[in-house]
């Protein structure tokens, strides 16, 4: 058997950690001298220690690891647990990436304001009725690029030439917290076969206050601040029935994540009645 100092050297795990694992009954020494309190370990316990370290590296807590070792889980059970851990980590990464994108947008907004750049130019225009294929889902903005890909596959299946213009309409969802009722739409030349997931509808014509800018579909844009200020200052009202639209015209050259975008807010008021 090995003294704790020797076992620590063999395993490259600090003696302090080994003592802690003993205290929480995660890895007990093979023998403890009752008079001196010295801990002794057998070489085969290196395998248990390596398993503990491997589980820890995968993100399991010490309590979870203790249960795993105690229950001696099967390969099938282990595979299921690892898939759950994989999904958990994917969700965490997506959440962190979304927060990072939000920070980047806010930094751009601060830099634009500090540089004294003028507000976006707002135009009022008529939007004609438009035949579109649509896909509705209650989700977060981070899912929009994936929804673009999904509707593109549907259009490709119906022999609609790509690329197409993508449109996002926000129907709101007051009780959904981070999720919103989104409708993804693409203009189409003819009516397509409806499915459980996709529909063909005709969007009504309307009058909008519009701003053209560069944005990412998966992140909120501060352009709404300038658009709201302009609508208020010029005596217009936002139409309560019609959802706002973001029309993603084309990707920015050299940057597939950013689009030339037209944000459209349906309005009522001066010259619109």
Cβ–Cβ contacts within 10 Å for residue 187, how many?
15
pLDDT in tens, 103-132: 765 666 566 555 544 457 888 999 999 999
- Segments forming the whole domain that contains residue 81: 77-117
What confidence tier does 271 reach under pLDDT thresholds 50, 70, 90? very low
Examine residue 273 and state whether it is found in any structural domain, yes or no. no
Cβ-Cβ contacts under 8 Å for 176 (sequence gap 6 or more): 138
What confidence tier does 273 reach under pLDDT thresholds 50, 70, 90? very low
Same domain, yes or no: 113 and 127? no
Cβ-Cβ contacts under 8 Å for 218 (sequence gap 6 or more): 98, 101, 141, 142, 143, 144, 145
Same domain, yes or no: 135 and 239? yes
pLDDT, mean over the chain: 84
pLDDT in tens, 185-204: 999 999 998 999 999 999 99
Residue 185 sits in a domain whose CATH number is 3.20.80.10
The contacts found for 195-199 with CB under 8 angstroms, 24 or more apart, are 195/154, 197/135, 197/154, 198/133, 198/134, 198/135, 198/151, 198/154, 199/133, 199/134
Residue 129 pLDDT? 96
Same domain, yes or no: 113 and 128? no
Question: Is pLDDT at 97 greater than 50 in this prediction?
Answer: yes
Average pLDDT over residues 54-68: 85
Domain tally for the chain? Answer: 3
Question: Is pLDDT at 238 greater than 70 in this prediction?
Answer: yes
Examine residue 236 and state whether it is found in any structural domain, yes or no. yes
Given a contact cutoff of 8 angstroms between Cβ atoms, the answer to whether 208 and 245 are in contact is: yes
User: Domain ends where: 36, 57, 72?
Assistant: 72
């Amino acid at each position: 058997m090995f003294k704790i100092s020797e076992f620590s050297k063999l395993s490259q795990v600090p003696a302090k950690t080994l003592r802690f694992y003993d205290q929480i009954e995660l890895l007990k020494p093979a023998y403890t001298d009752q008079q001196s309190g010295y801990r002794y370990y057998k070489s085969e316990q290196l395998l248990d220690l390596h398993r503990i370290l491997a589980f820890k590296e995968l993100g399991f807590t010490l309590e979870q690891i203790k249960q795993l070792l105690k229950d001696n889980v099967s390969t099938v059970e282990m595979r299921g647990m690892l898939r759950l851990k994989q999904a958990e980590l994917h969700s965490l990464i997506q959440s962190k990436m979304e927060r990072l994108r939000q920070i980047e947008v806010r930094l751009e907004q601060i830099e634009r304001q500090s540089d004294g750049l003028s507000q976006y130019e707002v135009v009022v225009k008529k939007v004609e009725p438009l035949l579109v294929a649509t896909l509705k889902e209650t989700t977060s903005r981070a899912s929009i690029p994936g929804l673009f890909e999904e509707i593109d596959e549907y259009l490709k299946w119906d022999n609609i030439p790509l690329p197409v213009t993508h449109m996002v309409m926000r129907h709101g969802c007051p009780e959904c917290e981070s999720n919103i009722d989104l409708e993804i739409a693409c203009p189409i030349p003819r009516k397509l076969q409806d499915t459980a997931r996709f529909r063909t509808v005709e969007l009504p014509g309307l009058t909008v206050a519009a701003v053209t800018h560069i944005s990412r579909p998966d992140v909120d844009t501060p352009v709404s601040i300038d658009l709201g200020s302009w609508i208020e200052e010029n005596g217009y009202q936002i139409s309560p029935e019609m959802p706002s639209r973001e029309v993603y015209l084309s990707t920015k050259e050299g940057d597939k994540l950013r689009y030339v975008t037209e944000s459209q807010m349906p309005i009522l008021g001066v010259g619109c009645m």
